[in-house]
Structure 1
Amino acid sequence: MPIGVVGVVLLLIIPLPAAMLDVLIVVNISLSLVVLLTSMYVKRPLDFSVFPSLLLVLTLFRLGLNVASTRLVLKDGYAGEVINAFGHFVVGGSLVIGLVIFLILVVIQFAVITNGAGRVAEVGARFTLDAMPGKQMAIDADLNAGLIDEDTARRRRADVGAEADFYGAMDGGSKFVKGDAIAGIVITVINLIGGFAVGMLQMGMSAGEAIEKFSLLTVGDGLVTQIPALLMSVSTGLIVTRATSESDMGTTAGNQLTQSRMALQIAGAAAIGLALVPGMPKIPFVLVGAALLLAAQRAKSAEATAAEVAATEPVTAANPDTPEALIEQMRVPALEILLAPDLVDLVGSGTEADLLSRVRALRRKIALELGVVVPPVRTRDSVDLPRSTYVVRIAGVEVGRGEAPAGRLLALGDNLDGIGGTAVVEPVFGLPGKWIPSELRSAAEMVGATVVDRVSVLITHLGAIIESNAGRLLSREDVRVLTEGVKAVNPSVVDELVPGLLSLGEVQRVLQGLLAEQVPIRDLGRIYEGLTLRAKVSTDPESLVEAARTALGPALAAPYARDGAIGVVTLDGGLEQTLLESVRPGPDGSQLLIDPVRADRLLSAARRVVSTAENAGHDVVLVCAPGLRPALRRTVSLGMPGLAVLSYPEVTNSGLRIETRGVIEDAHALAAGR
């Protein structure tokens, strides 16, 4: 192609011999015919995406041939056998016939095909650009619903972008065809005048001889260039009007034109009826009418055969009681959002408040923060839910419920008494608030309230649910995919750990244990290194989790640090020793073997100390001995699920400044059982 473009440019400068011009003219006509047929056989316009650039190159090629032929006609009065044949044989050697045919071709190309193709290209480009956001959102919706994978979504987005670029290029490319038609007229007029002048002034011909010789050559030259130009114009019209289908244009046209037997029968009867009109030729109308009736009969037979085949085939796909259909209905989605019918407007709104796009952003955020890929969130409506209600399910079990009334905003603050609305408690942080009408947003913001839209409320609730249940959402298949990702960059660690020391199920259990304590698993390589060392000694799940925590090191304490310091709450020495002596192994890990009264006193004491520190504006974590940490965390999580429990090494090795904010002192009460 680059060599061809350079050759086209040389056509404008270097004179060509007549034999070479004949070859190039044939190449021009053949290429135009190939482009026309290709545009008919493609199944969708994007399959011929090079067409706009090809249109420009072939247009330049024709103009170069125009210049080369004009040079030969005016210089030698001879431009090769092809032009000579078109000037004498094709038009019968008649200047008038040649000019009429040339003008007809120009009118067909310029006034009909080019104008129509240009308008279609302009409208197609505008509509394609306008439809891009909707198509992109539909792809995102399918991705979030789990109907397609990431690779398919990426390919579809590329197709949407390519389609917009293609129709934008065709909008400009159609101007090449229009300019080519105008240039053909102008060049022909110039050649007529120039040939007449050269024949009379330079060659000494009479006016009649000059007109006869040069005008026929000029008309032949015009016809030679206008025929491929007409083919390219038709190709342009076919491409911009081509709709995506499963077959080429000929097959599609044949199938659709014969889909109505009645239309074919009426057309055939009308053609035979016209044969009965006096003066009309009988044979052509009878032949065409009989062909249409035969086509109608064959279409009827094909339709009857298809109906018989459909009747004899078992309708297994449409039967909802087949094992395959039942299995599909039985499949439980890992994560699901149910919306009341009046909340369906949250989906596919095409704005920043679109639920599906926000869910996708949430999945990306959690993946970057926790290192776990959240499964696709299935979103559907349910007529069983009360108005304005949404429900979040994990593995088919309801884990959260909230409200998002239509036309309302959630205002959070303490000074909302003067603002009308429905009082509620925010589902994640337990803050008091009100669902207020949208028009009261400014009033709520003026009294210092934080105003949140409905989708943000639902997404915040969903995010909290996912983070607290991340361990449940981590499937064994997810672990396999994550392990393969580690193997791609650190193969030695994975090869040593899985399956030689631990199975995927055991690795999954460790990762679930980390996620249950809100420990990110992004640094899987370091986690696997810690597991490799510990698994050679013991495969106890609790010890493996502690080994993984030790491998993560400072990353455990970093989320709770403020300005290079971490606030801690510790246990009184006597209390810690008593709790260590009460640790007993269990099937689900170590437990504190103390009675409920003592456990309640421990939680009450911890709650008082932590509340005092938080009221003073300090965020704290509970720190204890490594051997006590797992059992103490299980006990503390019963009454204070948001309190992090770290071991001494996890805090001291973090490099942070340790600030003690309180000590839990209840050793005597626990020892005496009071």
Structure 2
Amino acid sequence: MGFRDLSVIFGVILIIVMLVIPLPGVILSVFILINISLALLVILVAMNTEEPLQFSIFPSLILLLTLFRLGLNVSTTRSILSEANAGGVIDAFGNFVIGGSPLVGFVIFAILVIIQFLVITKGSERVSEVAARFTLDAMPGKQMSIDADLNAGLITEQQAKERREKIENESDFHGAMDGASKFVKGDAIAGIVIVLINIIFGLIIGMTQNGLGFQEAINTYMRLTVGDGLVSQIPALLISTATGIVVTRVVTSEGNLSKDVTTQLFRYPNMMYIAGATIFLLGLTPIPFLVTTAIAAVLIGGGYWLSREAKRLEAPEVVEEEEVESSEMKSPENVVNLISTDPIEFEFGYGLIPLADTSQGGDLLDRVVMIRRQLAIELGLVIPVVRIRDNIQLNPNEYRLKIKGNEVARGELLLDHYLAMSPGMDDDSIEGIDTEEPAFGLPAKWITEEMKDEAELFGYTVVDPPSVVSTHITELIKKHAYQLLGRQETKQLIDHLQETHPILVEEVTPEPLSVGEVQKILAKLLRENVSVKNLPVIFETVADFAKMTNDTELLGEYARQALSSQITNQYVQNGLVKVITLGGKVEKTIAEHVQQTEHGSFLSLDPESQQSIVQSIGEQIEQLSLREETPIVLCSPAIRMYVKQLLNRYMPQVVVLSYNELEPTVEVQSVGVVNVA
């Protein structure tokens, strides 16, 4: 335990000692001077902090200093009433302030108490209460602002985390200050009560036990009581003032209190001319002319000096800013920043600015926050920040989405229209601009608001433009999620899993699999729209089979089989799944042409056979599409990944499942068989 820890513990023990054991006058004088020094130090620190959180220990410090001061009051009261002596410091304060008149001393003490209790303490208590209430009320809005900045790419995840922590700390601090201000108020009341006790019982003890006359008792005990009250109330007044300074500091302050006062009070030199002229005119009244003239001269001279300083500093600042900008453009760091690529970029033409402009009712930023949360739940992947910006190179109503710098899709919106998607049979009475729904490629129309109700009556699905673009962004991120999962993101997922399953993580990485190999397995699952949220199950499976093979494609297949319940729920409705199965000859042909190498296995099938299999599957899928059923190809586990690799080139949207990926309770209905000649 360090010296600082021991010093605080010793201080608390000392307070207990003062409450119980009588202390000599010399020691009391030392403690009184320490109390004044601590109070002075606290108010100086409060004046030099730039924001309240820099003095976060202040609420607890108020409690400790209040207890210390009350402990001193108990000790000095004991000494005054029992010995009529409380040390040289109290005696000196009493003689200096009273100046031969106990009544004058008591009046001065009463004025100090009134100033502290009715002005500073009461005001600080009210400000603390209001600050705590408004800080709590503002928390949701501040959190939403952070999320919006994070989505817009203005801040990083780490900066967002630091801002959220700061908001929570501010809330805790102002809540604590609301309670701590009650200590200050109670201390002021206790000071008044202690002084009254010292005076009343001092007179009684002096006249009855010590045989003093009334006048002598008044002089003795009033002098000591006023001295004790002063050495107690002066530090209390300093602490109360420090409390007021801390709770009235605002977030927009540019520096400490001294800097803010001098900068903002003397920001407008012309106002000093007016103030100086006003004071000079007061000298024409019976007010002493020399005094008003001197003050007026100081104000006018100060205004003239500040005006010259402001003009002198303006020109160098402009030159300095130009030099800084020029040096920044020439610096290699600035060039390096230009080649960085954002994981996800959403760009739009100037006609779509109202989508993202909150002042015009745009809620795109909030929608992107919800998209990231939704996809994190669905895919088990932390989606990177979506950088949103306008691009004058695009058409006014056009937008596009980029993944790692590459354009993956673009679309067009009409903000004053609604998108109406056909129920299957178009109605000629529904007039609009023919288009295609961007997310799923369905035929649709842009219709006016007047046609909205009529279109809904005819069975059209009517969607507003923000919902259209939000759905498109969601589907595109889902489709390209595997590209967003790099080694760094994989390491974050592994670290998160290690917090709850440390043994499991140790068994998988860094041996026998590296982070890069784990990333390939997870990316394989995401590429086929399989969520990696159930990471413990994936790691359990990989840990079992990685001892036998380090082929990431094969390990991905084992992981899919372990997630059979999840995959079944994803594709099976009401316990029935309709599938296209592969004929025995097709399965045998594919199995026989699998080539094993030291780098993994692949399908080595001649182009003619590949084309024949793909064409046969395409015919079966076309028949399913006519019945509006989702095409699912079912095959044996040994060849599933090779069938998927084959279809990826021609029909990437087709789902390929193996028998082991469906739960035994599922009823499988074959609606087509793939055969080749």
Q: What TM-score does the superposition give when structure 2 sets the normalisation length? A: 0.76
Label 1:454 to 1:511 Cα distance change in 2 as closer, same or farther (>3 A): same
| One-letter amino acid of the counterpart of residue 646, structure 1 | L
Is 1:553 matched with 2:561?
A: yes
Partner of 1:92: 99
Partner of 1:239: 246
Correspondent of 1:338 among 334, 340, 347: 347
* Distance in 2 of aligned mates of 1:657 and 1:466: 33
Gaps of 5+ in 1: 536-542
* Distance in 2 of aligned mates of 1:410 and 1:231: 70
8 Å CA contact retained: 1:258, 1:299? no
For residues 89-168 of structure 1, the aligned pairs below 5 Å read 89-168=96-175
Label 1:129 to 1:328 Cα distance change in 2 as closer, same or farther (>3 A): same
* Distance in 2 of aligned mates of 1:151 and 1:608: 49
8 Å CA contact retained: 2:621, 2:631? no
Is 1:316 matched with 2:326?
A: yes
For residues 255-334 of structure 1, the aligned pairs below 5 Å read 279-280=289-290, 292=302, 296=306, 299=309, 303=313, 306-307=316-317, 310=320, 313=323, 315-316=325-326, 325=334, 328-329=337-338, 331-334=340-343
Deviation at 1:660, TM superposition (A): 3.9
Partner of 1:540: none
Is 1:593 matched with 2:593?
A: no
Is 1:375 matched with 2:389?
A: no
Label 1:642 to 1:583 Cα distance change in 2 as closer, same or farther (>3 A): same
Correspondent of 2:180 among 166, 173, 181: 173
Deviation at 1:485, TM superposition (A): 7.1
* Distance in 2 of aligned mates of 1:443 and 1:125: 52
Label 1:449 to 1:216 Cα distance change in 2 as closer, same or farther (>3 A): farther
8 Å CA contact retained: 2:277, 2:296? no
What per-residue deviation string (whole Å, max 9, x for no partner) do you get for residues 593-636 of structure 1? 23898467513432266459976xxx774223567544533554
Gaps of 5+ in 2: 1-7
Partner of 2:227: 220
| One-letter amino acid of the counterpart of residue 153, structure 1 | A
Label 1:524 to 1:436 Cα distance change in 2 as closer, same or farther (>3 A): farther
Deviation at 1:637, TM superposition (A): 4.9
* Distance in 1 of aligned mates of 2:341 and 2:357: 24
Label 1:446 to 1:125 Cα distance change in 2 as closer, same or farther (>3 A): farther
Label 1:612 to 1:381 Cα distance change in 2 as closer, same or farther (>3 A): closer
Deviation at 1:190, TM superposition (A): 4.5
* Distance in 1 of aligned mates of 2:148 and 2:447: 29
Deviation at 1:359, TM superposition (A): 3.2
Label 1:311 to 1:477 Cα distance change in 2 as closer, same or farther (>3 A): closer
Label 1:647 to 1:195 Cα distance change in 2 as closer, same or farther (>3 A): closer
8 Å CA contact retained: 1:333, 1:396? no
* Distance in 2 of aligned mates of 1:10 and 1:593: 95
Bigger drift between 44-53 and 263-272 goes to 263-272
Q: What TM-score does the superposition give when structure 1 sets the normalisation length? A: 0.77
8 Å CA contact retained: 2:120, 2:244? yes
Correspondent of 2:582 among 560, 568, 571: 571
8 Å CA contact retained: 1:21, 1:65? yes
Identity %: 39
Label 1:73 to 1:418 Cα distance change in 2 as closer, same or farther (>3 A): farther
Deviation at 1:235, TM superposition (A): 0.5
* Distance in 2 of aligned mates of 1:461 and 1:308: 46
* Distance in 2 of aligned mates of 1:134 and 1:196: 61
Partner of 1:401: 411
Is 1:250 matched with 2:274?
A: no
What per-residue deviation string (whole Å, max 9, x for no partner) do you get for residues 326-381 of structure 1? 6545544321223566765665869x995445534543443454454432211234
* Distance in 2 of aligned mates of 1:77 and 1:451: 91
* Distance in 2 of aligned mates of 1:14 and 1:89: 29
8 Å CA contact retained: 1:519, 1:556? no
Is 1:662 matched with 2:670?
A: yes
Partner of 1:469: 480
Label 1:191 to 1:511 Cα distance change in 2 as closer, same or farther (>3 A): closer
What per-residue deviation string (whole Å, max 9, x for no partner) do you get for residues 297-354 of structure 1? 99469737954872783532675x877556545544321223566765665869x995
Q: SS at 1:43's partner residue?
A: coil
Deviation at 1:86, TM superposition (A): 1.3
* Distance in 1 of aligned mates of 2:577 and 2:134: 57
* Distance in 1 of aligned mates of 2:539 and 2:151: 25
Q: SS at 2:387's partner residue?
A: strand
Q: SS at 1:316's partner residue?
A: helix
Partner of 1:606: 620
Is 1:74 matched with 2:81?
A: yes
Deviation at 1:122, TM superposition (A): 3.4
Q: SS at 1:280's partner residue?
A: helix
Deviation at 1:442, TM superposition (A): 11
What root-mean-square deviation, in Å, do the aligned CA atoms of Structure 1 and Structure 2 show? 5.1
Partner of 2:657: 646
| One-letter amino acid of the counterpart of residue 199, structure 2 | L
Deviation at 1:231, TM superposition (A): 0.6
Deviation at 1:160, TM superposition (A): 0.4
* Distance in 1 of aligned mates of 2:409 and 2:264: 52
Deviation at 1:163, TM superposition (A): 0.7
Deviation at 1:559, TM superposition (A): 0.8
| One-letter amino acid of the counterpart of residue 567, structure 2 | P
8 Å CA contact retained: 2:418, 2:447? yes
Q: Aligned residue pairs: how many?
A: 650
Label 1:614 to 1:38 Cα distance change in 2 as closer, same or farther (>3 A): same
8 Å CA contact retained: 1:114, 1:174? yes
8 Å CA contact retained: 1:583, 1:593? no
* Distance in 2 of aligned mates of 1:412 and 1:83: 92
| One-letter amino acid of the counterpart of residue 315, structure 1 | E
8 Å CA contact retained: 2:432, 2:448? no
* Distance in 1 of aligned mates of 2:673 and 2:293: 114
Deviation at 1:96, TM superposition (A): 3.5
Deviation at 1:46, TM superposition (A): 0.8
| One-letter amino acid of the counterpart of residue 233, structure 2 | Q
8 Å CA contact retained: 1:411, 1:450? yes
Q: SS at 2:325's partner residue?
A: coil
* Distance in 2 of aligned mates of 1:175 and 1:485: 43
